[in-house]
Chains A and B, each alone.
Chain A
Amino acid sequence: MSFQLLAGQLVLGLINGSFYALLSLGLAIIFGILNIANFAHGAQYMFGAMLAWGLLEYAGIGYWYALPLVFLGAGLLGLLTEAIFIRRMYHVDPLYGILLTFGITLMMQGVFRNYYGVSGLPYSVPASLSGSWNLGVMYLPIYRVWVIVAAVVICFLTWYTIEKTRIGANLRAATENPTLAEAFGLNVPLLKAAAYAGGVGLAGLAGAFAAPVYSVNPMMGSEIVIVAFAVVVIGGMGSIKGAIIAGFSMGALEGLAKVFWPEFSAMVIYIVMVAVILYRPGVDIFGRKV
Chain B
Amino acid sequence: MTADTYSLVKPALELRNLSAWYGESRALYDVSLDVKPGGVVSLLGRNGAGKTTIVKSIMGLMNRREGSVRFENRETIGLSPRKIALLGIGLVPEERGIFGTLTVQENLMLPPVVRDGGMTLERIFDLFPNVRARLTAAGNALSGGEQQMLAIARILRTGARAILLDEPTEGLAPVIVQQIRKTIESMKEMGFTILLVEQNFDFAARVSDAFVVIENGRVVDRLEGPLGSAEIESVRRFLSV
Contacts and interface: CB of A to CB of B under 8 A. Distances in A.
A172 B86 contact: no
Interface in A156-175: 166, 169-170, 172-173, 175
In this complex, which of A166, A169, A188 has the most chain B Cβ atoms within 10 angstroms of its Cβ? A169
B99 A183 contact: no
B110 A183 contact: no
Contacts of A172: 99, 101-102, 106
B91 interface: yes
Given A169-B106, A172-B99, A172-B102, A186 B112 contact: yes
Nearest to A180: B97
A169 B80 CA distance: 22
B102 A185 contact: no
A170 B112 CA distance: 10
Given A172-B102, A176-B99, A182 B80 contact: yes
A130 interface: no
Contact of A166 (B81, B109, B114): B109
A175 B102 CA distance: 11
Given A166-B109, A169-B109, A173-B110, A184 B85 contact: yes
Given A172-B99, A172-B101, A173-B102, A183 B81 contact: yes
Interface in B47-61: 59-61
Given A176-B100, A188-B82, A183 B109 contact: no
Nearest to B87: A185
Contacts of A183: 59-61, 81-82, 84-85, 91, 93
A2 interface: no
B155 to A, nearest CB: 8
B111 interface: yes
Interface residues of B, number: 24
Contact of B99 (A177, A182, A187): A177
Contact of A185 (B82, B93, B100, B106): B82
A185 B80 CA distance: 10
A184 B111 contact: yes
Contacts of A184: 85, 91, 110-112, 154
A116 to B, nearest CB: 43
Contacts of A175: 101
A185 B112 contact: yes
A77 to B, nearest CB: 27
A124 interface: no
A146 to B, nearest CB: 34
Contacts of A181: 110
A179 interface: yes
A187 B82 CA distance: 7
Contacts of B86: 185
Contacts of B109: 166, 169
B165 to A, nearest CB: 14
In this complex, which of A169, A170, A184, A188 has the most chain B Cβ atoms within 10 angstroms of its Cβ? A184
B114 A179 contact: no
Contact of B82 (A166, A169, A177, A186): A186
Contacts of A169: 102, 106, 109-110
Contact of A177 (B91, B97, B111, B158): B97
A182 B63 CA distance: 14
A79 B194 CA distance: 41
A142 to B, nearest CB: 40
Interface string B25-51: 000000000000000000000000000
The 4 closest A-B pairs by CB, nearest first: A185-B85, A184-B111, A169-B106, A183-B81
Interface of B: 59-61, 80-82, 84-86, 91, 93, 97, 99-102, 106, 109-112, 114, 154, 158
12 contacts: A166-B109, A169-B102, A169-B109, A170-B110, A172-B102, A182-B85, A184-B91, A184-B154, A185-B85, A185-B86, A185-B114, A187-B82
Given A170-B110, A185-B112, 18 more contacts: A166-B109, A169-B102, A172-B99, A172-B106, A173-B99, A173-B101, A179-B81, A182-B81, A183-B61, A183-B81, A183-B84, A183-B93, A184-B91, A185-B158, A186-B82, A186-B110, A186-B112, A188-B82
